[in-house]
Amino acid sequence: MLLPEPVQRVIEAFSRLPGVGPKTASRLTFHLLRGQSSLAEELAAALGGLHSGTGSCGRCFNITAAGRELCPVCASAERERGLVCVVEEPLDVLALERTGGYQGLYHVLGGALSPIEGVGPDDLRIAELLERVRAGGVQEIIVATNPSMEGDATAMYLQQQLAPLGPRLTRLARGLPMGGDLEYADQGTLLRALAGRQELS
C-alpha cells in the first residue's frame, strides 16, 4: 500500500460515515494533512467527548447533556405540556425548534417502522409514548414522522394505538413546499396538495 497506515485509517473511518465515499474520505483526510494539526486534533477531541458527554432525555428521548435527567425542552416551564409532537429522530426536533413556531413537548421514537430493515414496534419508543399518554395531561399528539413509506406506516400504527387513549391526533400538513415550483413537484406531492386544498380567505 502506498499510503502510510495512519492516513489509511482516517480514510477508512471517514468512509464509514453516511454519504462519504472513498474519494470524499481521501479528500477530507488530505485536507486535514495539509493544514496544521489543530483541526484534526480538535475534531478528534470533539468526537472523543461525543458519547460520554451526551445522554437521552428520560421523558422524550431527545439528546441531552450527560447527567441531565431531562432535556431543555422537557425541563422548560414555558412549554405547553398538553401538546406532544412525535418525531423519528433528534434531528427532527432540531428542525422543528428552528422554526420557532412550536411550543409543545416532543417524543423521539428513534426511527420508523420498517419490516424490510427489521424495525418493529418494540424497537421504537412507542411503549414509552403510550405510557406518557396514559399518565394523563396530554390533549393533542402531532404525529410528525417523515412523509415516507416507513413514516406513514409508523403514523398509522401510532393512530391505532393512541386512538383508544383519547387525545386529539393530528399530523403535519402535506402539500407544496415553500419556494417550490409546481412544474417540478412530483405526482405524489401534487396529489396531496390537491386533496388537501384550502379555501382562499
Q: How near is the Cβ of 58 to a second copy at its closest, in Å?
A: 15
Residues paired with 94 in a beta bridge:
none
Q: How near is the Cβ of 194 to a second copy at its closest, in Å?
A: 30
Cβ closer to a second copy: 45 or 116? 45
Cβ closer to a second copy: 13 or 156? 13
Which residue do the cell numbers 399518554 mark? 133
Angular region, 17: left φ>0, alpha ψ -120 to 50, beta rest? beta
Helix pair 149-162, 126-134: axis angle to 10 deg: 30
Which residue stretches of the chain are H helix? 5-15, 22-34, 38-48, 72-75, 90-99, 126-134, 149-162, 187-195
Q: How near is the Cβ of 106 to a second copy at its closest, in Å?
A: 11
Cβ closer to a second copy: 16 or 197? 16
Under 8 Å between Cβ of 61 and 68: no
Q: How near is the Cβ of 97 to a second copy at its closest, in Å?
A: 5
Cβ closer to a second copy: 35 or 166? 35
Contact residues for a second copy, defined by CB under 8 A: 2-7, 9-10, 12-14, 16-20, 24, 26-34, 37, 39-54, 63-66, 72-73, 89-91, 93-94, 97
**Of how many residues is the chain composed?**
201
Q: How near is the Cβ of 32 to a second copy at its closest, in Å?
A: 6
Handedness of CA 36, 37, 39, 42 (dihedral sign): negative
Cβ closer to a second copy: 19 or 177? 19
For residues 97 and 14, give the distance between their C-alpha atoms in angstroms, rounded to a whole number.
29
Cβ closer to a second copy: 38 or 201? 38
Q: How near is the Cβ of 183 to a second copy at its closest, in Å?
A: 24
Q: Record the cell numbers describing residue 198, joined without a space.
A: 384550502
**Which of 58, 40, 174 has its CA nearest to residue 108?**
58
